[in-house]
Amino acid sequence: MNSGINKLGRRNFIKKGMAGFATLTVGPSILHGSLLNEEKKNPKIVTRKLGNTGLELPVVSMGVMNADNPNLLRAAHDKGIVHFDTAHGYQRGKNEEMVGKVLKDMERDSFIVSTKIPGNKFDKKSGEWKIKTDAEDFIEKMELSLERLQMDYVDILYLHARSNKEEAVEPEILEAMIKLKEQGKTRFIGVSSHRNEPEVIQAAIDSKVFDIVLTAYNFKQDHFESVGKAIEDASKAGLGVIAMKTQAGVFWDKKEKENKINMKAALKWTLQNPHVHTTIPGFATFDQMNEDIEIMEDLALSSQEIKDLKFGEEMGMLGLYCNQCGVCNGQCHKDVDVPTLMRSYMYAFGYNNLLQAKDTLSSAGLEELPCDKCEECNVNCKAGFDVKAKLQRIYEIQNIPDTFLV
């Protein structure tokens, strides 16, 4: 069992002057990663048990996907982060290779590494599987992942990115995963999801095979309540629960990128749910790393942080869909009823109610969408949506016969 505290020592370096390198006395080549010229700070580490796995992890771990600098992983490990999450498909394997290069220099019991391999896709509408892999292929991918990671085993192997219960418990792939666990190539097996998460999590619980679920969970999800409930059910069933996509897209306004979400508050919000055992924020800079680790100093949300998480809602910037603030009224030079079309878009893509979307579109009374004639859209959406793109997309729904929509 891993308590998660790194025991690497500090290294000493000759401090350099700023006289330019003509007069420079250069010390030894850089030894990787550790904090060099400043005192290593020991941040407060808060841990939670990862279900029935026997592992106890810091509540902040690292999603490695966005990092392309190996020293970031080393620094994170130095600061007490124990769990590193990658995947077979990230950067065509180079992400796993980077993780392997960094972790091979560390004691094997000082870290927990996870990777993910996809199965096949199941189309609920047609009831058909899109077959691209089988058990043999899955196992081959696992062998390749281990080779890249330079390890004999990973701690967690996930079935990657499942979108429904059928995909979560695909029999042949599940058998392959169990076999890999029996062979000692992975200590635990899990399933990951960022779509229809409650359904996938429930399937994982019902299967009685999985040890861990990895799920998208953040304050901006339209369905965070049902995800939170599913997380609770999984935890009570003894599964480890790890949360991802915790910081919900970084900016409230996707287009202008002027209003940044309070990232610490967003991460803390996820951990207010005691059934989330750890999180894997995908920090890509040292500042982001420090910010994420700092939340363990105090996991409680302050009143200001709670207010910050409501900022987007108050400013009409919450979520993926137009909230009908009406600021855009009258901005379109062609007099398109933008709020109505945006509402149609929301019905289609937010609520999957295509008939309602089409009815709403019809109510706008458009004979044709003039957007193609405008080089630049002068509608300035407060929420930062690309209004022209969304209108062009939803306008196509009028070409779909009603029989396809009911």
| Residues 33 and 71: beta-carbon distance below 8 Å | yes
Interactions with another protein, residue window 221-280 (CB under 8 A): none
Task: Choose one: 65-73, 102-110, 166-174, 359-367; the region binding another protein (CB under 8 A).
Answer: 65-73
CB 285 within 8 A of CB 66: no
Contact 38, 14 (CB under 8 A): no
Burial class (CB in 10 A: 0-12, 13-18, 19+), 226: middle
Residue of the chain from 3, 91, 331, 356 that contacts another protein (CB under 8 A): 91
Q: What is the enclosing helix (H) or strand (E) of 40?
A: none
Residues sharing a CB contact under 8 Å with residue 331, sequence separation 6 or more, in sequence order: 338, 378, 379, 380
Interatomic CA distance for residues 84 and 122, integer angstroms: 29
- Residue 375 found at the interface with another protein (CB under 8 A): no
13 lines the binding site for another protein (CB under 8 A): yes
Size of the chain in residues:
406
User: According to CB under 8 A, which one of 93, 100, 190, 281 is a site residue for another protein?
Assistant: 93
**Residues β-bridged to residue 192:** 214
Contacts of 290 (CB under 8 A, 6+ apart): 79
Other C-beta atoms closer than 10 Å to the C-beta of 314 total 9
Q: How far is the CB of 321 from another protein (least distance, A)?
A: 11
Q: Does 303 bind another protein (CB under 8 A)?
A: no
Stretch that binds another protein, among 46-54, 219-227, 282-290, 301-309 (CB under 8 A): 282-290
- Residue 377 interacting with another protein (CB under 8 A): no
- Non-local (6+) Cβ contacts of 378 within 8 A are 331, 332, 333
71 or 331: CB nearest another protein: 71
Nearer to another protein, 31 or 306 (CB): 31
Among 26, 184, 258, 314, binds another protein (CB under 8 A): 26
Out of 21, 182, 184, 303, name the contact with another protein by CB under 8 A: 21
Piece of the chain touching another protein by CB under 8 A; list 11-19, 183-191, 230-238, 373-381: 11-19
CA distance 243 to 189: 16
Site membership for another protein, residue 15 (CB under 8 A):
yes
Nearer residue to another protein within complex by CB, 68 or 206: 68
Cα separation, 358 vs 347, in Å, equals 9
Q: Which of 33, 80, 312, 319 binds another protein (CB under 8 A)?
A: 33
- Among residues 114, 116, 110, the alpha carbon closest in space to that of 99 is found at 114
Rule CB under 8 A: is residue 119 a binding residue for another protein?
Answer: no
* Cβ 161 to another protein shortest distance, Å: 4
Q: Which of residues 127-156 bind another protein (CB under 8 A)?
A: 132
Residue corresponding to tokens 């509540």: 59
Contact 257, 62 (CB under 8 A): no
Residues 189-208 that bind another protein (CB under 8 A): 194-196
Q: Which residues bind another protein (CB under 8 A)?
A: 13, 15-22, 24, 26-31, 33, 35-38, 65-69, 71-72, 74-75, 87, 89-94, 118, 123-125, 132, 160-161, 163, 194-196, 282, 284-287, 320, 348-349, 352, 354, 389, 393, 396-397, 399-400, 404, 406
